[in-house]
A and B are shown apart, each in its own frame.
Chain A
Amino acid sequence: MSEPTNRRFEQEWNMAFNDKELTPSDAVWKGVELQIAKSENDSNKKRILFFQLLAAASVSFAMVVGSFQLYDYYNDENIELADSKMIESGSIDNSNLDVDRKNQTDKQSTTTSKDLLIVDTFKESSQFAGNENSVTFNKTSDINNKKTITEESNVDVKQPIPTSTDQSIILSGMSDDYIDKTYLNSLGYDLEYAEPSEIELRMVPWLSFVGKSNKKKTHTNNSLWAGINMSAGTFDPNSSNGIVFASSQAVTGNNVDFNEQNDLGNIEPVTIGSEETGNVYGVGFNLGTQISNRVVLLGGLNYLQQSTSSKSNVVTSGSNNVVVSSSRELNNSAQFETTDEYEIQNTYESISLPVQAGYFVLDRKFNILFLGGIANDFFIERNISDTSGKSLESNADYNSDGYSLYAIGGIVGTQFSYDLGDNYSIALQPQFKQMLNSNTPDGNKPSSFELGFRFSYKLK
């Protein structure tokens, strides 16, 4: 059907409704308004819900990221702690190695897909380094950064991990090619990401009793600590000034008048014994500072009282009988006489200023510090007394004839300390001191072995 050509009809109808209006009821707008408000509320609820979900997702994401970061942080701490340790050479027992692993030969390129962390060169003196079942690594230039081993450092892997009863090996982040997981798992550890500190503790059984702490030591360069210390030990005067005269005639010198005849008319021998090993006690305070990761400097001020004993049967004659403890005293102008043998107590008092350098062998909560240095001793007084009290004592200071103020000695020792929290530590320090010169006219160069107790506080 063709379109109607006369469109007048349509035009009539169009014009009939052109711009015509009718007023709708109020309910229409109310309905519209109600629906608009409902839609806006729904959109607000959706917006709030969106932000709530966004906040929850953000918190969850932050927790996940934080967890991973924390895991990496502690993992890196252990790695860094292990990296900072350099184990000196020692014997390594390979006898516990499995035969299969011993026969395993796998020369591999060291360019691995995984980053290898610290590698360190074992000293030539190490059995491990010289053993055919050894693993030799090239030392990286920066042990604190993860680096891949270059192709030059080929590793002959026959025994990836040795056992040791007295030496610990630090391995950090070794790839699977180098770790015998079966062996390590047999020790009850999952070493997908091995914690070197744990390996160390396993390989050094006595260290297993040490509480493993993942907390990084707060020692930093220029840290300073102070403390008090007390010590006790044995003192060897290394004296050889004793004499025995069969008779007074053998004694040379002036004004020697020995009443050497006893009641029976026999001649009494003159006996002046040498000083015997005695005791040493000390008390003082100490200062220390860490100058590098492992090196410390220690100093202090100690009061020392060193005691020895000897025997003598000679006293000065007259109304006051003064003890005579050495043959050198017989050469003075005093008159001497023999008596019953009596015991002499020699007490030396001095001030000692030790200066030592230390090296941390173990720097954890439990620490081992090797020490060596010098002792600057300043002589105060020597007291010689009769333990029976029958004879008068004598005293000598550095102004007395033959005595000197200053003497120097060498000290070596080891400090075993335990950290109490972040700022305090207690320590036991056995040490040996050998004087290199003498304060006394006898020329003795005494030595001593002391066991000290220290209580320190970290100042910074």
Chain B
Amino acid sequence: MDSDKILIEKCARGDRKAQRALYELYAGKMLVVALRYTKSQLEAEDVLQEAFIKVFEKIKTFRAEAEVRFWIKKIVVNTALNSQRSKLYMFPMVDVTEMQDSFETDISLSTYHFTELLKFIQELPTGCQAIFNLYAIEGYNHQEIADMLNISVGTSKSQYSRARSILKERIEKEQLLSYERANK
């Protein structure tokens, strides 16, 4: 924490080495975050670059109430959402009665490398992808997601359910393929 504080102070003074150090400390993790919200590596790196530019522009305003990594992650997520905003459109309210009230799954993701899971997420529709990331991984609730994306809570829920359904089917399909490969 103290080292982070010193690093941030140096970055605020415009110390290029400190800025590079901060970047290298968090760029890898933030790239993964950016990949979850985008469709390609190139797009994710654009988001990452833009996010870190914002980080260094706003680092003087950073308050040490929270850890810096959560602050950077929030910037990356917001940058990613802004880059996808043109692609995000108002999803029509889905009749929730069509959705399953509960999902029981025995899917285990431990057998999958996270890069494969990234591919599964990137295959989701843009709206579902954003809502899934915000709810399932970032931990926002649907109200917060609705406020962030300027959608209704119902839309958020329905889209999330859709995302989950898609991912479940994708994973089950992948597991079936793996079983068939293993039995050949």
Q: Which A residues form the contact surface with B (CB < 8 A)?
A: 1-6, 8-10, 12-17, 19-25, 27-29, 31-33, 35-36, 39-40
- Residue numbers in B under 8 Å from A21 (CB-CB): 28-29, 31-32
Q: Is the CB of A32 within 8 A of B49?
A: yes
Q: Is the CB of A12 within 8 A of B108?
A: yes
Known: A12-B107, A13-B117. A1 touches B27 (CB 8 A): no
Q: Is the CB of B31 within 8 A of A32?
A: no
Known: A2-B101, A4-B103, A16-B117. A29 touches B23 (CB 8 A): yes
List 4 other contacts, CB 8 Å, given A13-B109, A17-B114, A21-B32: A6-B103, A17-B137, A21-B29, A39-B57
Q: Which B residues form the contact surface with A (CB < 8 A)?
A: 14, 16, 19-20, 23, 27-29, 31-32, 35-36, 45, 48-49, 52-53, 56-57, 96, 99, 101-105, 107-110, 112, 114-115, 117, 135-137, 139, 142, 154, 157-158, 161, 164
> Separation in Å of the A23 CB from the closest CB of chain B?
6
Task: State the CA gap A357–B50 with chains docked (Å).
Answer: 93
Task: State the CA gap A298–B108 with chains docked (Å).
Answer: 122
- Residue numbers in B under 8 Å from A12 (CB-CB): 107-110
Task: State the CA gap A22–B115 with chains docked (Å).
Answer: 9
Q: Is the CB of A31 within 8 A of B28?
A: no
Q: Is the CB of A1 within 8 A of B136?
A: no
Task: State the CA gap A33–B27 with chains docked (Å).
Answer: 14
Q: Is the CB of B114 within 8 A of A16?
A: yes
Closest to A37 in B: B16
- Residue numbers in B under 8 Å from A8 (CB-CB): 105
- Residue numbers in A under 8 Å from B142 (CB-CB): 3
Q: Is the CB of B45 within 8 A of A24?
A: yes
Closest to B160 in A: A4
Question: B27's contact among A3, A16, A20, A28, by CB below 8 Å, is which?
Answer: A28
Closest to A8 in B: B105
Task: State the CA gap A16–B101 with chains docked (Å).
Answer: 24
Q: Is the CB of B49 within 8 A of A28?
A: yes
- Residue numbers in B under 8 Å from A31 (CB-CB): 49, 53
Q: Which 3 pairs of residues, A with B, have the shortest CB-CB distance?
A: A21-B28, A1-B96, A10-B136
> Separation in Å of the A439 CB from the closest CB of chain B?
99
Task: State the CA gap A31–B52 with chains docked (Å).
Answer: 10
Task: State the CA gap A16–B53 with chains docked (Å).
Answer: 28
Closest to A30 in B: B49
Q: Is the CB of B112 within 8 A of A16?
A: yes
Task: State the CA gap A9–B136 with chains docked (Å).
Answer: 8
Task: State the CA gap A72–B87 with chains docked (Å).
Answer: 70
Q: Is the CB of B31 within 8 A of A13?
A: no
- Residue numbers in B under 8 Å from A14 (CB-CB): 136-137, 139
- Residue numbers in A under 8 Å from B57 (CB-CB): 39
Known: A4-B103, A17-B32, A24-B31. A32 touches B135 (CB 8 A): no
- Residue numbers in B under 8 Å from A17 (CB-CB): 32, 36, 114, 117, 137
Q: Is the CB of A5 within 8 A of B23?
A: no
